[in-house]
Copies of this chain bind each other. A is one copy, B any other.
Amino acid sequence: MSVLQSAMAAKNASIYLAAVSTSIKNNALQAIASQLKEHAKTIIDANTVDVQRSQQENLPAPLLKRLKFDQARINEVVAGIESLITLPDPVGNTLLATELDDALTLYKVSCPIGVIGVIFESRPDALVQISTLCLKSGNAVLLKGGSEAKETNKILAEIIYNAGVSAGIPENWLTLLETREDVTAMLKMDDYIDLIIPRGSNAFVKYIMDNSRIPVLGHADGICHCYVDKDADIDMAVKVVTDSKVQYVAVCNATETLLVHKAIAPQFLPLIEAELKKYNVAIVGCEQTQKIINVNPATEDDWKTEYLDYKLSIKIVDDVDDAIHHINRYGSKHTDSIITTNKDTAKKFMDLVDSGNVFWNCSTRFSDGFRYGFGAEVGISTSKIHARGPVGLEGLVIYKYKLIGNGHVVDDFAKGKRNFTHKKLHTRCPL
């Protein structure tokens, strides 16, 4: 099938998938989990081919590590699917019920978005996670993985697709695209694809956003900040900033810039410098920072850079407003934390920092769907509409209005023969 045919077939499948019952979807998820376990050897063999080829092609070690899909990984994704089965179905929930008139009732009911296009690099577990999240939320999915993992992705997609269909999920609910050209084609298919979820590097996500009219759910940069206020508990500040920076540096919710109130800087900066030295964190700082601790100068570019490394930029600010202004200017609307004992200052920071996740007295590293208790996670969104922050199943659904009448016509209301009652109800939509 061409990409166009695949997209049209996915759109058609999505129509029927929208009405598949929770029990069929959960049975399908169970079948997928069983089949992945049963075919573990085939999957591992396919992955070995990918790993060996990538080693010969000198794929860097961290990417090789992410590519590896062994029995431990299989166990992990199976556990993820089993936890997904226990989550409530996000489809078919009555979000609002209003009586408009006698025997004329409006229901707002959650439903799937339709067709999700997913483009991911390297990690084959993303394929399993996102395809099962799409299934649970009743969406059809077009997938394109990285070429390094092509054998692994192929066998995973085949197992997942077949297990789904055998359990009653409509045909063509999942399609694996093969080439880079397929992705270019997919980005143009706004008639058939409703949402694109890219998982990969900043440059990769930006490319997707710049080359498609289809809405994109995700984030490019993750430039997160900690702001240590003048009223901060200093010991707490050292602990939270250190965790935010070094607990895992290669991720989007790690802190890249530390903002420090000028009144507390002389006392705080030497302490954080000493602590971060233990982890070999390279520090660059603004002019005022350089007067207090011995660091290299930070340039304008540092405030815009996601290091993803043992490196931190520090800026001294006049007050919380200055900190808020810096974050809204240079941040990526991802996650920013204030450390203070002053509730009013915390409230101001949390209200005025325009990010999906605003924290008080805790590490930016908490910004994550699993830590938030969402179970499964589609990704983290820095968008301003639809879904923001860590996105679970609810980011894969929308709603439709169902209006049930008994021959009602607008003309009767326009002529004043009937009047709207607009009475709030607490009933589920009967169909």
Contact flag A361-B410 (CB < 8 Å), given A195-B385, A347-B431, A431-B350:
no
Interface string of A92-104 (1 = CB under 8 A from B): 0000001010001
Contacts of A19 in B (CB 8 A): 348, 351-352
Q: From A348, which residue of chain B is reached at the shortest CB distance?
A: B19
Measured CB to CB, the closest approach of chain B to A219, in angstroms, equals 14
Q: From A107, which residue of chain B is reached at the shortest CB distance?
A: B350
B371, B388, B413: the one within 8 Å of A413 (CB):
B371
**Count of A interface residues, CB-CB < 8 Å:** 77
Contacts of A16 in B (CB 8 A): 352
A363 at the interface (CB under 8 A from B): yes
Q: Name which of A68-76, A239-247, A291-299 contacts chain B.
A: A239-247
Measured CB to CB, the closest approach of chain B to A258, in angstroms, equals 15
A218 at the interface (CB under 8 A from B): no
When the two chains form their complex, are residues A385 and B413 in contact, meaning their CB atoms are under 8 A apart? no
Interface string of A394-431 (1 = CB under 8 A from B): 00001111111111111101100000101000000001
B18, B359, B398, B414: the one within 8 Å of A388 (CB):
B398
Interface string of A318-362 (1 = CB under 8 A from B): 000000100010000000000000010011101110111111111
Interface string of A48-73 (1 = CB under 8 A from B): 00000000000000000000000000
When the two chains form their complex, are residues B213 and A209 in contact, meaning their CB atoms are under 8 A apart? yes
When the two chains form their complex, are residues A363 and B409 in contact, meaning their CB atoms are under 8 A apart? yes
A236 at the interface (CB under 8 A from B): yes
Contacts of A405 in B (CB 8 A): 359-362, 366
- A210 CA to B389 CA, complexed, in Å: 27
Interface string of A110-135 (1 = CB under 8 A from B): 00011000000000000000000000
Contact flag A410-B365 (CB < 8 Å), given A15-B324, A15-B328, A354-B15:
yes
When the two chains form their complex, are residues A402 and B371 in contact, meaning their CB atoms are under 8 A apart? no
**What are 22 A-B residue pairs whose CB atoms fall within 8 Å in the complex?**
A18-B351, A18-B354, A19-B348, A194-B384, A215-B384, A233-B407, A235-B407, A236-B406, A240-B409, A243-B409, A243-B410, A358-B400, A358-B403, A361-B405, A362-B403, A362-B405, A362-B408, A363-B409, A366-B408, A372-B401, A388-B401, A389-B401
Given A388-B398, A389-B399, list of 13 further CB < 8 A pairs?
A15-B354, A114-B354, A194-B385, A215-B383, A343-B431, A346-B404, A357-B403, A359-B402, A361-B408, A362-B403, A385-B385, A388-B399, A388-B400
